[in-house]
Structure 1
Amino acid sequence: MYVDFDTLPESARVWVYQANRPLTDGEVKSIDEALKSSLSQWEAHGQPLLASAQVIKNRFVVVGVDEGYTLPSGCSIDASVRTLQNIGRQIGSGNEPVDFFDRSAAIQLADGSVQTIVLPALKNAVSDGTITPDTLVVNTLVNTKAAFSKNWLIRAADSWLKRYFKKMTVLPG
C-alpha cells in the first residue's frame, strides 16, 4: 500500500538510489507516478507492504517501507530494484539513459546543486580542493527514515571519503 512518505515511521527502512544524471521535472513526475503505482502493489509473500518513495533534488530516489507493518522479503526487495531499472529504461528512452545505481560520489555545492564525481577522479578532486573535509556529501548509505532525516548530507571527512584525506599534524608554534 502506498502512503505519503511523511507518514512512514522514523524506523521505516529506506534505500537511496542515485541517478547518473540530473532528472528533468517531467522525468521526476513520471518516476513519482510509476513508483506510486508499483508500491501500491508491492508485497512480500502475499502480504501488502506499507511503502512510499520520493525524489530528492531531481537526482535521488528514496524508497521507504514500514517494517513494523510487514517485513519486506528478499524477493520483494529484488522486485523494487527491477522496478527502478525498468523506470530508468523507460524515462531514458530517447534521452540519455538513467541508471539509478550510480556509485559516483555526490557532493552538494555551495549553491545547493549536486555534482557527482566518478570514483577514478576522487583523488584528484581532493587534491585540487573540489572536495575538502567539510564538503557536504550525499550519504546514500542511510538505512532508516530517521537516519535519512538526520544524516542525508554529511561532511566528507565523516563519510566513506575520509580515506582520501591525509592526517594533518599541527606543529607547535
Structure 2
Amino acid sequence: MYIPFDELPPQARIWIYQANRPLTAAEQTEIKPLLERFATEWSSHGKGLQASAALLHNQFLVLANNEDATAASGCSIDASVRFVRELEQQFNIAFFDRTQLAFLRDGEVQLVSMNQLKDSIAAGDITKDTLYFDTLVNTYGDLQSDWPRQAQQSWLNRYF
C-alpha cells in the first residue's frame, strides 16, 4: 500500500540510494510514477507493505516502509534492490557506487571520491561542519531531523 512520503511515521525504515550524478528533471518525471508503482506493489510474503519512495536533492532515491505495520523480509528487500538495479539500467545511472561521498556545499550536492577525502579535508574543502548526506540514516524521522548532518556527527568524525 502506497503512503505519501511526507505522511510516513518517524520510525519508518528507509533505504537511501545515492546516484552517481544528478538526475535530470526529465528523468525525475519518468522515475516518480515508477517509484509510486513499486511502493504500491511492494510486499513481504504476500502481504502488502505500507511503503513510499521519493527522489531527494536530485541525487538520492529513498525507499521507505512502515515496519510497525509489516516488516520487510529478505525477499522484499531483494525485490527492492532488483527494482533499483532496473532503474540503473533504464536510466544509465549508478545507485550502488559506494566510492563517492555526497556533501551539501553552496546549496548543491557535491560528490567527493573516498580516495580524495583526506586531501579535501587537508585542503579545508571539507570541514567538520560541512553537511554530509549520510546514506546510513535508516529511519524517516532521522532523515527529516538530521539529514544532511554535519560531517563530525557521522562516521566521518574520525577524520577530524
TM-score range, shorter chain: over 0.9
* Residue in 2 that maps onto 1:124: 119
Partner of 1:140: 135
- Structure 2 distance, partners of 1:7, 1:160, is 29
Amino acid at match of 2:73: S
Give the Å deviation of 1:10. 1.1
| CA contact 1:133–1:155 (8 Å) conserved in 2 | yes
Which amino acid is the alignment partner of residue 130 of structure 1? Answer: D
Structure 1 residue 102: deviation in Å? 2.5
Q: CA deviation at 1:121?
A: 0.7
1:117 aligns to what SS in structure 2?
strand
Greater Rg by CA: 1
1:138–1:152 contact (8 Å) kept in structure 2? yes
Aligned residue for 2:62, secondary structure, equals: strand
Q: Is the 8 A contact 1:30 1:91 kept in 2?
A: no
Q: Secondary structure of the equivalent of 1:146?
A: helix
Q: Is the 8 A contact 1:14 1:145 kept in 2?
A: yes
Unaligned runs of 5+ in 1: 93-97, 166-173
2:110 counterpart residue number: 115
Instruction: Give, in whole Å, the separation in 2 of the partners of 1:149 and 1:40.
Output: 22
Aligned partners of 1:50, 1:158: CA distance in 2, in Å? Answer: 30
> After TM superposition, where is structure 1 displaced by more than 6 Å over at least 4 residues in a row?
none
Q: How many Å separate the matches in 2 of 1:114 and 1:57?
A: 7
Instruction: Give 1:24 shift.
Output: 0.1
What is the distance in 1 between the residues matched to 2:12 and 2:29?
A: 24
Structure 2: unaligned runs, 5 residues or longer: none
